[in-house]
Amino acid sequence: MAALNQVTQITNLVKQVARDVGFDLAGIAPVRDFAELAHFPDWIAAGHAGEMKYMEARDPRGRLKRASLRAAVPWAHSVIVCALNYNTAQPYSTQINDPERGWISRYAWGREDYHESVMRRLRVVDARLKETFASSTHGVPSSDNTSAHRPPATKGFQSRCYVDTGPLVERVYAKYAGVGWIGKNSCILNQKLGSWLFLGVILTSLELEPDLPAPDRCGTCTRCIDACPTDALIAPYQLDSNRCISYLTIEKRGTIPEEIRGGMGRHVFGCDICQDVCPWNRKAPVTNAPEFEPRPELVNPALDWLGQMSAEEFRRVFQGSPLRRTKLTGLRRNAVIAMANSSDRRFVPLLKKLEQDEDPVVAQSAQWAMEKF
Ligand code: B12
Ligand code: SF4
Ligand code: SF4
C-alpha cells in the first residue's frame, strides 16, 4: 500500500512539473502492444512511409522498432506523454486566398524549432523525476540495481526523452495516456484544446499510474478526409505519406512527381488543411509559449520572396526554424510549384528566369510551371 501511494505521488508530481514547465497536457500510458500498433507493419509494407527510411528501423531480429516499444526498449514500463499547444491567433489556411502568397504550416511560424521547445521542457520533467526517484524508496537505489531477485519495474531507474525520434508511434501512446484521441486525419485531438499540439515523451522504467485512453469523438464526421486536396487520407485513420503535402514539401527530396503537384496548391512547407477543417479546432485556444509567436513574414509569405531566396538569406531567416529541414532547394522548389498553382501571370518573368536556375530541381519545376502557364 505504501509503495502504491508513492507511485501515485510520483505520478502526480510528474504531471505537476509538466504543467509548471508549460506543457498544456500530460498523461501516463503503460507500455503495451496496443491494437493500433498492429497497423504499423502494414503501413510500412504498403510503402506509405515513402522515402522516410528512419520509420523502418529494425532491431537485430528484424522486427520494426516502432511497432513495439515493449520489444525495442524492454526496460521501459511507462510512457509520460506531454503535449504543448502551438496555436496562435492567426487565420486558417482555408480562410485565406491570395494568389501571390503561399502557406507555411502553423507549427513553423515561430523562432524556435518545436523539437527544441518540447525537449527543453521534457528535460526539466525528467530531471525532477530522477531527483525524486533518487530520494524515494520507490524502486531500488542505483547502488543496488544488480539484484537479480527484483521485479523488472524496480531494477534501477532509467528514463529517456524523445521528440519524434524514439522507437514508438507517439500518437498511439498519447491516446492511451488520455492526451487525446486519434482522429480520422490521424492527428491527436483533445476535446478542449483541439489538435494544434506537439507531443513529447519520456520513457521510464517506473510503473507510474496510467491514465484512461481518450474516447474517439470523430463520430460520423469525415471533413478531414473530404477536404484533403491530394487524397492522402486513403481511409479513416490511414495516411499515405506519398500523397501528403506535408511529406512532399518537407521530407521529399529531389523533384516531386508531376501528377501530384497540382493538388499541392500554394503550400510551401507542411499542410494544415485536415486540421483547419476539423470542428474540434474551431475554438482552439492559443498557446502561452512565447517561442511560437508568429513571425509576420512567415504567415502567408510572398512566393516571389521564397522562390528567389539566396543561401545566405535562407540561413539568416530560418536559423533555428523547422524550415531548415526542407533546405533551400526544397523551399524554392515548393515556391515554384505554388506559383504554377496560383495561375497568377505576374510570376511568368520570374519563372522564366528560374527555368535557367543552377539548381536542377528548381529549374525542372520552373520548366513544368511554364508549361502550365
Ligand atoms: C512520420 C511522421 C509524419 C509523416 C507521416 C504522418 C503519419 N500520419 O504517419 C508526415 C511527414 C506526412 C507527417 C505530417 C504531419 N505531422 Co508528423 N510525424 C511523423 C512521426 C515522426 C511518426 C508518425 C508515425 O509513426 N506514423 C506511422 C503511422 C502508421 O502512424 P499514424 O498515422 O499515427 O497511424 C496510427 C493510427 O492512426 C493507427 N490507427 C488508429 N486507428 C486505426 C484504425 C484503422 C482501421 C487503421 C488501419 C489504423 C488505425 O494506426 C497507426 C499506428 O500503427 C511523428 C512523431 C512520432 N515519433 O510518432 C510525427 C507527428 C505525428 N507529426 C506531427 C505533426 C504536427 C504533423 C503535421 C501536422 C505537420 C504539418 N502541419 O505539416 C502533419 C500532419 C499530417 C497528418 N494528417 O498526419 C505531430 C502530431 C501531433 C498531433 N496533434 O497529432 C507528431 C506527433 C510530432 C510531434 N512530436 O509532435 N508526419
Ligand atoms: S496534411 Fe494536408 S495533404 Fe496531408 S493528409 Fe492532411 S490535408 Fe491531406
Ligand atoms: S475533421 Fe472530423 S473526422 Fe476528421 S479528425 Fe476532425 S472530427 Fe475527426
Q: Which of 107, 230, 260 is the best mutation target for the ligand 2 pocket, counting ligand atoms within 8 Å of the beta carbon and taking the most?
A: 230
Q: Which amino acid is at 71?
A: A
pLDDT of residue 156: 79
For residue 361, with 0-12 CB atoms within 10 Å meaning exposed, 13-18 middle and 19 or more buried, which class applies? middle
Q: Which of 104, 105, 239, 281 is the best mutation target for the ligand 2 pocket, counting ligand atoms within 8 Å of the beta carbon and taking the most?
A: 239
pLDDT of residue 150: 36
Q: What is the pTM of this model?
A: 0.94
Q: Which atom of ligand 3 is nearest to the CA of 189?
A: 5
pLDDT of residue 4: 61
pLDDT of residue 144: 35
Where are the domains positioned within the chain?
A: 2-87+110-204
pLDDT of residue 136: 65
Neighbours of 35 (CB within 10 A): 8
* Ligand 3 near 278 CB (within 6 A): yes
pLDDT of residue 133: 79
Q: Which atom of ligand 3 is nearest to the CA of 223?
A: 1
pLDDT of residue 6: 84
Q: Per-residue pLDDT tens for 60-118?
A: 999 999 999 999 999 999 999 999 999 999 999 999 999 999 999 999 999 999 999 99
Residues assigned a catalytic role: 164
Backbone angles phi, psi at 282, to 5 degrees: -60, -40
pLDDT of residue 38: 97
Measured in Å, residue 338 CA sits from the centre of ligand 1 at 24
pLDDT of residue 153: 42
Weakly modelled stretches of the chain, pLDDT under 50: 1-2, 137-154
Q: Which atom of ligand 3 is nearest to the CA of 227?
A: 1
* Ligand 3 near 276 CB (within 6 A): no
Q: Write down how long the chain is.
A: 373
pLDDT of residue 105: 98
pLDDT of residue 3: 55
